[in-house]
């Protein structure tokens, strides 16, 4: 997560409606038009079913109450309007209460292809479709409850599991690799790279391994973990994840598969 941001979330009115500008709606429309053909070929069927259920508008930023109506009917979830950046504690609190945080701003044209902080396109297009799915919703809820009760140190380990599943996870679907991670599905470059490139490693998901794997948020991922099947998220949610965190802490982190981030010279 970025530590600071140039963006400021918008505030909804008493009906939960946000007044988006013409330019902001155009940015959504262009992002949507660019990404939808890619995900139709590469996303898992559970994500595509969620896209259909949500009925996301192509020409304007969706309003959160419309998304909430579908999520509540399907899995009991809803969105939560949040500032551009929130801390881990608030993040876990929301997930533990079946509320998915959505920062109510959209990226500028200067950062059209990539930005570090999650905007409304990333959250709504990347993540909300799968919140209509019971397995994904159950795993995310369980993860939130664990994180809320965890220590600061353990939350850092839990963040890695989230990163390699909810954000950048792949899944085996009838012997074919598909994408379910929202960080991939909201990025045109990574949607292609994650499945087609010969550069990254791809390994079957072992939770302890994911908990031990360092990551960087500002590069194409050098490693992806693969779920054996989508409903494995149900099984993962029922495992003793905190025992795995303790095991990962004892074993230590793997050597990073990426160079250290360049330090800014002051």
266 catalytic residue (yes or no): no
* Active-site option among 127, 141, 187, 190: 127
* Active-site option among 24, 117, 123, 167: 167
* Active-site option among 24, 123, 141, 186: 186
Per the structure block, which two tokens stand in for 93? Answer: 């609190």
187 catalytic residue (yes or no): no
Cα separations in angstroms, 44 against 41, 50, 170, 259: 9, 10, 9, 31
* Active-site option among 122, 123, 187, 190: 122
Give the helix ranges, DSSP H, for 150-187: 152-162, 182-185
Check the annotation: does 235 bind a ligand.
Answer: no
Per the structure block, which two tokens stand in for 88? Answer: 């881990």
The residue among 158, 187, 157, 179 whose CA lies nearest residue 224 is 179
Dist CA 194 CA 192 (whole Å):
6
Check the annotation: does 127 bind a ligand.
Answer: yes
138 catalytic residue (yes or no): no
Check the annotation: does 167 bind a ligand.
Answer: yes
186 catalytic residue (yes or no): yes
Q: Which residues contact 262 (CB under 8 A, 6 or more apart)?
A: none
Annotated binding site: 122, 127, 167
Annotated binding site for Fe cation: 122, 127, 167
Active-site residue set? 122, 127, 167, 186
């Amino acid at each position: 997560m970025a530590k600071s941001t140039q963006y400021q979330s918008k505030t909804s009115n008493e009906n939960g409606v946000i007044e988006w500008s013409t330019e902001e709606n155009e940015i959504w429309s262009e992002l949507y038009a660019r990404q939808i053909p890619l995900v139709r070929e590469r996303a898992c069927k559970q994500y595509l079913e969620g896209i259909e259920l949500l009925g996301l508008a192509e020409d304007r930023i969706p309003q959160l109450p419309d998304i909430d109506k579908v999520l509540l009917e399907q899995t009991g979830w809803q969105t939560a309007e949040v500032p551009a950046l929130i801390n881990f504690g608030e993040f876990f609190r929301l997930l533990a209460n079946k509320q998915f945080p959505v920062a109510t701003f959209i990226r500028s044209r200067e950062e059209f292809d990539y930005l570090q902080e999650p905007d409304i396109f990333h959250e709504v297009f990347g993540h909300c479709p799968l919140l209509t799915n019971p397995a994904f919703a159950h795993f995310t809820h369980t993860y939130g409850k664990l994180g809320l009760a965890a220590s600061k140190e353990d939350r850092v380990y839990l963040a890695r599991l989230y990163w390699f599943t909810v954000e950048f996870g792949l899944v085996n679907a009838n012997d074919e690799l598909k994408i379910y991670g929202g960080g991939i599905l909201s990025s045109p470059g990574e949607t292609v790279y994650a499945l087609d490139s010969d550069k990254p490693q791809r390994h079957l998901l072992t939770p302890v391994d994911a908990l031990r794997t360092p990551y960087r948020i500002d590069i194409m991922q050098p490693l992806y973990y693969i779920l054996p099947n989508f409903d494995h998220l149900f099984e993962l949610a029922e495992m003793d994840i905190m025992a795995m965190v303790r095991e990962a802490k004892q074993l230590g982190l793997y050597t990073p598969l990426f160079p250290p981030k360049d330090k800014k010279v002051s």
